[in-house]
Amino acid sequence: MQNPVTVIQSVRLDDENDTLVLLDQTVLPNETNFLELKEMEDIWDAIYQLKVRGAPAIGIAAAYGAYLGAKKSTAETYEALFADFKKVKDYLATSRPTAVNLFWALNRMEDRFKQEAGKSVAEVKAALKEESEAIRAEDEKICEAIGEHALSLLEPGWGLLTHCNAGTIATAKYGTALAPIYLGQEKGYDFKVYADETRPLLQGARLTAWELQQAGVDVTLICDNMASIVMKEGKIQAVLVGCDRVAANGDAANKIGTSGVAILAKHYNIPFYVCAPLSTIDLECQTGDDIHIELRPSEEITTKWYEQSMAPEGVQTYNPAFDVTDHSLITGIVTEKGIAYAPYTESLSEMFKK
């Protein structure tokens, strides 16, 4: 059997060369291109332009970026180094407003910096490197745990629908929503996966279909507006999605189109599971109404994937990158600590106590 987890590492640190190495997800599946980024402006751009994407991968990239920014500082005192670090941290935080992992990782790096108060500049820089590497290593273990918990909800031979890309290239390894698929592959579950293309940036078509095919998984690509018919025809027994932010009440922000899939799943009585590491759960955000939804450029709809424009020149567009799935549509939220069920205001809070 093929190794079910692709060996490609989408985010890594080349510390010797002061470089962040990223798999450029904007050119997949036609090119496998790794970017070697040294400047903060280039790291910011890679996050904003979705060259690195997926909430955990964004967090890992931001942590490495914060470390590299501090490493390059010529400051000679703790206080001066912190000032330089803070500029980098605040700058990277402006790249994407919705993915909570971005802020979680940057805040964790700042917390570690403060824990090193009184130490030399060299010691602080070493601690920041250690923390950034820990964030990556922990994510790999978290994804595997999410996969094990989610797999306990599934039966061999099931048809599974997923939206966007929450796979190994969106994380340190395994992914979140795709983790149970990879682990099931190892155990001979023979899942039949249907991947929504996920307009307008086609993360399902370009990324999910690519990485599952690379891993030897039975995957079928469908257009977003085909989800209803495959559900009606009985091809889908469960829906698995990742997310960028979960509110305290269980509302979950994920790639645009996810809430529509959840509504369809509810209609056809199909369980709908959100796979989310605890770092994605924001207990200070009370409901989905409090989640800022990023608006993206009109070109992503009209011209990005076409030789010629597929819309009238000058037509108005509305291009939100995410929507919020109401907690009432979510069967369960799978975390590395277990599965949370309604009422989520209670179960999500309990997850942090485990």
- Give dist(CA 247, CA 252) in Å, integer: 6
Dihedral (C-alpha) 21, 26, 30, 31: value to the nearest 10 degrees? -20
Q: Active site includes 244?
A: yes
* Residue 182 neighbours by CB distance under 10 Å: 26
Q: How many residues does this entry show for the chain? A: 354
Closest CA to 178 of 156, 154, 162: 162
Q: What is the DSSP string of 168-182?
A: GGGSSSS-STTHHHH
Closest CA to 314 of 326, 327, 298, 332: 298
Q: Which amino acid is at 271?
A: P
Structure-block tokens of residue 91: 């700058």
Strand partners, 243: none
Closest CA to 277 of 188, 209, 348, 223: 348
106-109 long-range contacts (CB < 8 A, ≥24 apart) are: 106/62, 106/63, 106/66, 108/63, 108/135, 109/63, 109/66, 109/67, 109/85
Closest CA to 244 of 325, 344, 313: 325
Degrees to nearest 5, angle at CA 39 with 35 and 45: 65
- Strands, sheet with 11-14, edge to edge from the N-terminal-most edge strand: 11-14, 19-23, 34-37
Q: Which amino acid is at 17?
A: N
Asked if residue 67 lies in contact with residue 129, where contact means CB atoms within 8 angstroms, the answer is: yes
Question: Which residue in the list 224, 244, 251, 282 is annotated as catalytic?
Answer: 244
What residues are labeled active site? 244
